[in-house]
Amino acid sequence: MKALIIGAAGFVGSYLIQHLSDTYDWEIHATKLSSETFDASDIRIHDLDIMNTVEIEILLKKLRPDYIFHLAAQSSVALSWKNPALTVDINIKGTLNILDTIRNIPGYSPKILLIGSGEEYGYILPDETPINEQVIPRPGNIYAATKACQNMLGSIYSRAYGLHLIMVRAFNHIGPNQAPIFVVSDFCKQVAEIEAGIKPSVMRVGNLQAKRDFTDVRDVVRAYGLLIQKGQAGETYNIGSGHAIAIQELLDKILSLSEKNISVELDTARLRPADIPVIEADIQKIQQLTAWKPEISLNQTLLETLNYWRENAL
């Protein structure tokens, strides 16, 4: 079997490559932008811009992978508020470019995993928590709206054109080497910088009252590997821990891992124009299909992420 990871230079890509290499006897290919670099000597790497349909067609006709993991995305909620046009271009137009190319290649029918987000559900009602896949999405930010659109397009293309598309709504996933534009990595980086004497003993934070569902990225990519093999065409699957935690509690856990006396201050620049109070996944659907469940504890992930920044903050 041959697998292609589109957009592999990001945070999740390196973990997915490692998991697939360690678990399956597949020929693995990955794409990156020409401006990106990453080291993966045991797989084959290709430059690809998903805004360029000619590049997509050339690569897919050459490789004809059995499995396609579509990771390429603008995945920052904060950046989506600042640059909505870029987010729409990458997350919607880029996805359509891939899907249209695949459906126009004669005799080619790969299994495709479209990666969405728990953010798609948005403004949920009190009786809708934990959120299952039947809850109607009400996106509350630009990034979530683009991912909800991607999900709908995936469902339409699956029904209309017979593509084997499996949609995922992955809730917050975290781990070492994540960019500090995301909350856990941001907090851990700030603590590591304070410990190293790079900055004063004051942490700058945004909204601490929101509750989110966090899962270790290594558990998330295990789910991706299972779903691309077992997922039903046209179906959507939640991936998460099944438990929401307040950002304040998350911050307290990280601060408890340091011996430094660190104060906390609100930074209004970190507040979003709109924020959803609680996002928590119902993961029964994927569990019933694959028996998947998270295996790495939140405390372990936080410690490993903090240690990563302790080694890389300088």
**In 3D, which of 60, 55, 11, 5 has the Cα closest to residue 182?**
11
Determine the angle formed by the axes of helices 11-23 and 217-230, rounding to 10 degrees: 60
Dihedral sign for Cα atoms in the order 17, 20, 22, 26 = negative
Classify residue 285: in a domain, yes or no.
no
pLDDT at residue number 114: 98
pLDDT at residue number 3: 98
Distance CA 48, CA 68 (A): 14
| Helical (H) or strand (E) element with 21 | helix 11-23
Q: Are residues 43 and 125 in the same domain?
A: yes
Task: Give strand pairing partners of 239.
Answer: 170
Kindly report the CATH number assigned to the domain that includes residue 6: 3.40.50.720
Q: Are residues 208 and 219 in the same domain?
A: no
Q: Are residues 29 and 62 in the same domain?
A: yes
Classify residue 287: in a domain, yes or no.
no
Determine the angle formed by the axes of helices 298-312 and 247-256, rounding to 10 degrees: 60
CB 69 within 8 A of CB 5: yes
Q: Are residues 111 and 194 in the same domain?
A: no
Q: Are residues 8 and 58 in the same domain?
A: yes
pLDDT at residue number 78: 82
Distance CA 217, CA 250 (A): 17
Classify residue 286: in a domain, yes or no.
no
pTM for this predicted structure: 0.94
Q: What 3-state DSSP class applies to 64?
A: coil
Q: Average pLDDT of each block of 10 consecutive residues along the chain (314 residues)? A: 96 95 96 87 91 98 98 90 96 98 97 96 89 95 96 98 98 95 94 94 90 96 98 98 95 95 84 74 98 97 97 84
pLDDT at residue number 256: 96
CB 78 within 8 A of CB 272: yes
pLDDT at residue number 279: 85
Q: Are residues 199 and 132 in the same domain?
A: no
pLDDT at residue number 274: 58
Distance CA 71, CA 52 (A): 16
